[in-house]
Chain A
Amino acid sequence: MTVRRDWVLEYDVDDVLRGQAADPDVVRARRPRLVEFAQQALENGRDLIEPAVLSRRLGVEGVRHGRLLLEDGHRLSGDLAVEHLGPAQYVVVMLCTVGDSLAQAAIRESSSNLVYAFALDSVGSAAVTALGAAACNSIETGAMASGLETTLPLSPGMEGMPVDPGQREIFAMIDPEEVGVVLTPNLEMVPLKSVTMVLGVGANVATPGGPCDYCTLRDTCRQRIS
């Protein structure tokens, strides 16, 4: 199990606006004040981002009764894990977080300046998205150097990978305290700007489609990629 905190995250004001489900070009032309809010939130929020990725590599031992069996007696339930991770040589389980400082700042601001608070919250969304992408890229780069492929990162809550038991199973594989994340009895991660992902690594394991194809929120999400 490793913890890495030295991430250089690439996200900008456009990512913050996209995190608000807004089109940056349209907003820039029509409501420049919103760009100013996003820019201000980005400048003030960057210092509050505390990126950390906890990861663990586990060998795939097989599939049984609709579960992916991993080394050390761990398992992952659900069709999605079985179908996409089953052929992998190993999986990398990751818990990514940007900490709680930014979220607390957004909460403090929300009673007096909701637009700015929303922008701050979106900085957190942009940061954790960038962190997840950077972590996946890191795994992918390592895999490619070995002539291997990676799957789409799978997360509990995707179609075929229920939050329960998926989140419990992932948290059983790692020590989340190392990065200050708690899983509540309701399976909510605190700090909220945290994500878990499982990436399969092996030969010919690349996943078809994109994340929205596997997301349970695709019927209600305004940000889905159609």
Chain B
Amino acid sequence: MGAQDLLEGLKQAVVEGDEDAAASFAEQAIGAELAPLEIIKGAINPAMDDVGQAFEDGEAFLPELILAGDAARAALDYIIPSISADDLEGSVQGTVVIGTIFGDAHDIGKNIVSAILAAHGIKIVDLGINVPPKAYIEAALKEEADIIAISSLITTSLPYHREVINTLRDRGEREKFFVIVGGGPVTPEWTAEIGADGYGRDARDAAVVCQQLLAGRAEGKTAPLPEPVTVGALEHG
């Protein structure tokens, strides 16, 4: 099988959420000595983009997005060990510290966001649920993260979003990390009100927002942004 066929096969396997096929194509591509980063750029990233766009357009459903993420990770398990140290630095787009905010025990949604971000080549540091505001900051400093991602499923936990941002500001470390927020009760208006840098309604949006923020960081932008990056808000009314 030629290089292009392998990449097409891998892309299709990820789109269809077929873990076994994705792993097999990835193994074959590495065996055929395709450059690891080219496999990622030529097959996995476009596959995740296609599924993500279909989800955004209402043509794919969340479990399909998760299936694709699982298939992408299965392929990456074969590809990443073949990446050299120099290449690896370029392959990791950034680091996101993520957790469900204090007072909120919802786990699944945050795990889905983590899986989708990981499938986009973003390093994830998952702090779990019921995360105190200061724990996000300590982890972000320790991991030299680019983004702090806060998940919320209940309205009563929203005030702790503001506490994360205010604590960063009080400690003089606000410019070090972009802060994004998302989950059922979170709105773009709330995001702007608390001075966060990004809003994502769901896992796909979170991936898009993170990619935009990381691209902005590469261009020299620092937090806080004058206007948050918002993706996926439904029209009100």
Please pick, from B62, B107, B155, the residue contacting A21 in the complex, using a CB distance under 8 A. Answer: B62
CB distance from B114 to the nearest CB of A (A): 9
Instruction: Please tell me if the beta carbons of A34 and B64 are within 8 angstroms of each other in the complex.
Output: yes
Instruction: Please tell me if the beta carbons of B61 and A190 are within 8 angstroms of each other in the complex.
Output: no
Cα–Cα distance between A163 and B185 once the two chains are bound (Å): 12
Contacts of B166 in A (CB 8 A): none
Interface residues of B toward A: which range?
A: 20 to 34
Within 8 A of A (CB), among B23-75: 61-64, 66-67, 69-70
Q: Does B141 contact A (CB under 8 A)?
A: no
Given contacts A121-B108, A188-B156, A222-B202, contact A216 B185 (CB under 8 A): yes
Instruction: Please tell me if the beta carbons of B61 and A220 are within 8 angstroms of each other in the complex.
Output: no
Q: Does A107 contact B (CB under 8 A)?
A: yes
Within 8 A of B (CB), among A131-188: 157, 163-164, 184-188
A-B contact count (CB 8 A): 95
Instruction: Please tell me if the beta carbons of B62 and A20 are within 8 angstroms of each other in the complex.
Output: yes
Instruction: Please tell me if the beta carbons of A110 and B155 are within 8 angstroms of each other in the complex.
Output: no
Cα–Cα distance between A186 and B184 once the two chains are bound (Å): 16
A-B contact pairs, 12 of them (CB 8 A): A20-B61, A30-B64, A106-B108, A110-B108, A114-B112, A119-B63, A163-B155, A186-B103, A186-B104, A188-B157, A219-B236, A220-B185
Known: A31-B67, A33-B17. 17 other contacts (CB 8 A): A17-B63, A21-B61, A27-B61, A33-B67, A34-B67, A107-B107, A110-B111, A118-B108, A163-B155, A187-B154, A187-B156, A188-B105, A188-B156, A192-B106, A217-B184, A220-B184, A220-B234
Interface residues of A (CB under 8 A from B): 17, 20-23, 26-27, 30-31, 33-34, 37, 106-107, 110, 114-115, 117-119, 121, 157, 163-164, 184-188, 190, 192, 216-217, 219-222
Interface residues of B (CB under 8 A from A): 16-17, 61-64, 66-67, 69-70, 102-108, 111-112, 115, 154-157, 184-187, 201-202, 233-234, 236
